[in-house]
Amino acid sequence: MSTLTQDAARAGASVGLDGDRITFRGGRPLKGRIEVRGAKNLVTKAMVAALLGEEPSLLRQVPDISDVRVVSGLLELHGVKIERDTETGDLHLDPSNVERAHMAEINAHAGSSRIPILFCGPLLHRLGEAFIPDLGGCRIGDRPIDFHLEVLRNFGADIQKLSEGIRMHAPNGLTGAKVELPYPSVGATEQVLLTAVRAKGRTELRNAAIEPEIMDLINILQKMGAIISVDADRVIRIEGVDRLTGYSHRALFDRNEAASWASAALVTKGDIFVGGARQGEMLTFLNVFRKAGGAFEIEDDGIRFFHPGGELKPVVIETDVHPGFMTDWQQPLVVALTQAHGTSIVHETVYEQRFGFTDALVEMGADIELHRECLGGQYCRFGQQNFLHSAIISGPTKLHGANIEVPDLRGGFSHLIAALAAEGTSTVSNVGIISRGYENFIQKLEQLGADFTVEG
């Protein structure tokens, strides 16, 4: 069994997906209402933040996704008591008895998610040492952790790389530092936040990421007693405090899931009301969605995304850090762009290998050419290298059914919606991965009228 397949099986099993393969009969518009709950990219970090508190925390709107299960498992190994109500989405985390966990038990979670690297600061504060297994997450580039390790060294951590995982100590505790990131990495910014809040003295972070999920993590840390200020020029300042309490927080909605369903509505000529979606965090997406010919209506309790009839239009997009066009929105939108009249260009500047999913779309009839050059106006780290990180999509092209294998989370969702838009029957395998970030996607597809069979 390949590691990818193992990931998929683990993810699928954890959400009760009967099989790892779905056969779709395409051509029906997706119509109806679905709900999105807390963001995968916030909830998992908020769970780690609970480790820093001296009292229990309550996180609300937690989705039933496999990344949440992986992080719950790791927290439990460290003695955090977790109670979960999947119906309401309430998650109670009690960190009163944080303890050392066995390396072998932690290693059982190796390759499951990227979140374990964020345990470093909280565990160093609580226990003086931490062991971090090899990370997982989507294979959409090399995804090094050099910024994280550099940040932790700046705070005073002593780091040892082992054949499996990383071990670290902080014999003299952790002390605030001045840090400048080479690139506004989401994870490295969170690393600084989760470490600095209880470090001795002040921390100044330059070139920080400012994604909405990071702002919501800052909200949580402030509720716990942290002192954090955010300047307009990507500078975050943190004054370390001696103790933090628990928190009670309603998690920010998953804007990436919402954008994915929006693209599903566009490509299937459908009409989807995404309950829980909000305008503010999706401004950049909504502009592009409108330029591509999609329509939306913003309500107090969600956003209706629909194909208003007429032709879809080509767009030029460069993915970027917030407030730019989020890289996680790119893959589902590319499927819709195969139906636009004209040539679209997508320049991926966040990950060097995020177009692997397009092979399957080409097999289904899409006209997509990948290029090594930066096909966009902005500086990109991948330009002078051998990475196929720009795409030219010419449309409209009829999509027809095919047998395809899901490569990663967003690529997988893209394959589902391509199969739903295609003429004829498609079999999509390795679908368990999709449960990493899309709660109850099978039930949601059913609610929206998709025609499919889950196979064992």
Ligand X SMILES: C=C(OP(=O)(O)O)C(=O)O
Ligand Y SMILES: CC(=O)N[C@H]1[C@@H](OP(=O)(O)OP(=O)(O)OC[C@H]2O[C@@H](n3ccc(=O)[nH]c3=O)[C@H](O)[C@@H]2O)O[C@H](CO)[C@@H](O)[C@@H]1O
Total of chain residues touching ligand X, rule CB under 6 A? 8
Q: Where are the beta strands (DSSP E) in 354-405?
A: 367-371, 390-395, 403-405
Closer CB to ligand Y, residue 188 or residue 388? 188
Closer CB to ligand X, residue 61 or residue 353? 353
Tell which positions 290-349 bind ligand Y, by CB under 6 A: 327-328
Q: Residue 416 in 3-state DSSP?
A: helix
Tell me the C-alpha distance between 356 and 365, whole Å. 16
Which element (helix H / strand E) includes 363?
Answer: helix 358-363
Q: Residue 18 in 3-state DSSP?
A: coil
Which element (helix H / strand E) includes 179?
Answer: strand 178-180
Q: At 328, phi and psi to the nearest 5?
A: -70, -10
Task: Decide if residue 114 touches ligand X (CB under 6 A).
Answer: yes
CB of 252 to ligand X, least distance (A): 14
Task: Decide if residue 133 touches ligand X (CB under 6 A).
Answer: no
Question: How many CB atoms within 10 Å of residue 39?
Answer: 26
Of 178, 120, 176, 111, the closest CA to residue 148 belongs to 120
Task: Decide if residue 437 touches ligand X (CB under 6 A).
Answer: yes
Total of chain residues touching ligand Y, rule CB under 6 A? 21
Task: Decide if residue 138 touches ligand X (CB under 6 A).
Answer: yes
CB of 186 to ligand Y, least distance (A): 3
Closer CB to ligand Y, residue 115 or residue 421? 115
* 380 is known as an active-site residue: no
141 binds, among ligand X, ligand Y, none (CB under 5 to 8 A by kind): ligand Y
410 binds, among ligand Y, ligand X, none (CB under 5 to 8 A by kind): ligand X
Q: Report the relative pairing of strands 403-405 and 425-429 from DSSP bridges.
A: parallel
Q: Is 40 annotated as a binding residue?
A: yes
Q: How far is CA 322 from CA 45, 204, 217, 267, 282, in A?
A: 18, 20, 15, 25, 10
Task: Decide if residue 328 touches ligand X (CB under 6 A).
Answer: yes
Tell which positions 41-70 bind ligand Y, by CB under 6 A: 41
Tell which positions 241-300 bind ligand X, by CB under 6 A: 256
Closer CB to ligand Y, residue 186 or residue 274? 186
Task: Decide if residue 383 touches ligand Y (CB under 6 A).
Answer: no
Of 14, 3, 6, the closest CA to residue 435 belongs to 14
List 120, 138, 374, 380, catalytic entry: 138
Which element (helix H / strand E) includes 198?
Answer: none
Distance of alpha carbon 302 from the chain centroid: 20
Q: Is 362 annotated as a binding residue?
A: no
Task: Decide if residue 434 touches ligand X (CB under 6 A).
Answer: no
Task: Decide if residue 187 touches ligand Y (CB under 6 A).
Answer: yes
Tell which positions 142-161 bind ligand Y, by CB under 6 A: 142-148
Q: Is 154 annotated as a binding residue?
A: no
CB of 264 to ligand X, least distance (A): 16
Tell me the C-alpha distance between 212 and 218, whole Å. 10
Q: How far is CA 164 from CA 5, 160, 161, in A?
A: 20, 11, 8
437 binds, among ligand Y, ligand X, none (CB under 5 to 8 A by kind): ligand X
Task: Give residue number: closest CB to ligand Y.
Answer: 187
Instruction: Give the CA angle between residues 196, 202, 208 to the nearest 5°.
Output: 60
Q: Is 328 annotated as a binding residue?
A: yes
The interaxial angle of helices 186-196 and 212-223, nearest 10 deg, is 10
Tell me the C-alpha distance between 228 and 243, whole Å. 14
Q: Is 408 annotated as a binding residue?
A: no
CB of 325 to ligand X, least distance (A): 14
Catalytic residue set:
138
Residues that bind ligand Y in the complex, under the rule CB under 6 A: 41, 114, 141-148, 183, 185-188, 209, 211, 327-328, 350-351
What is the binding site for ligand X (CB under 6 A)?
A: 114, 137-138, 256, 328, 409-410, 437
